[in-house]
């Protein structure tokens, strides 16, 4: 009789513990949808680490909408050069799968801005 009670108890415990561990709930996924960099230095825009964007958006699904923005604030009151670059903001929106295309467009824009600044 004792053996029967012990076996039933053990089987009950095994059943309850294995049932409790088979939870099918998914952990919530963390996603990033917006990145914005604000600076007062054009050099920082030109030398930005573009691989960091891939790291930031790596958890996103391919069809997740994202926005990448860069803001330049010229804090200098007087500019001694011939041409003054005023405040500007560049924002691109698209899907995570288009991150490489978006990055190339931004790089190209900042390269042209750096060339323009160096010329003048």
Residue length of the chain: 120
Residue 51: which domain range?
A: 34-119
Tens-digit pLDDT profile for residues 2-12: 787 777 787 67
Cα 46 from Cα 69, distance rounded (Å)? 14
Q: Is the pLDDT of residue 23 over 60?
A: no
User: Over the stretch 37-87, which tens digit does the pLDDT of each residue have?
Assistant: 998 888 888 788 989 999 999 889 999 999 999 998 887 766 566 667 788
DSSP 59: T
Reported as a single tens digit per residue, the pLDDT across 86-106 is 888 999 999 999 999 999 999
Q: Specify if 89 maps to a domain.
A: yes
Q: Which residues contact 2 (CB under 8 A, 6 or more apart)?
A: none
Six token digits for residue 61: 């699904």
Residue 71's closest CA among 90, 46, 53, 93?
90
Residue 105 lies in a domain: yes
* The total number of structural domains that make up the chain: 1
């Amino acid at each position: 009789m004792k053996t029967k009670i012990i076996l039933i108890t053990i089987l009950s415990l095994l059943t309850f513990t294995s049932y409790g561990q088979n939870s099918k709930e998914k952990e919530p996924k963390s996603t990033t949808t917006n990145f914005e960099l604000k600076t007062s230095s054009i050099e920082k825009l030109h030398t930005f680490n573009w691989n960091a964007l891939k790291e930031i958006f790596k958890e996103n699904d391919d069809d997740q909408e994202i926005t990448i923005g860069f803001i330049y604030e010229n804090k200098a009151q007087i500019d001694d050069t011939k041409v003054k670059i005023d405040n500007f903001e560049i924002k691109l929106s698209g899907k995570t799968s288009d991150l490489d295309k978006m990055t190339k467009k931004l790089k190209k824009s900042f390269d042209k801005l750096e060339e323009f600044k160096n010329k003048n």
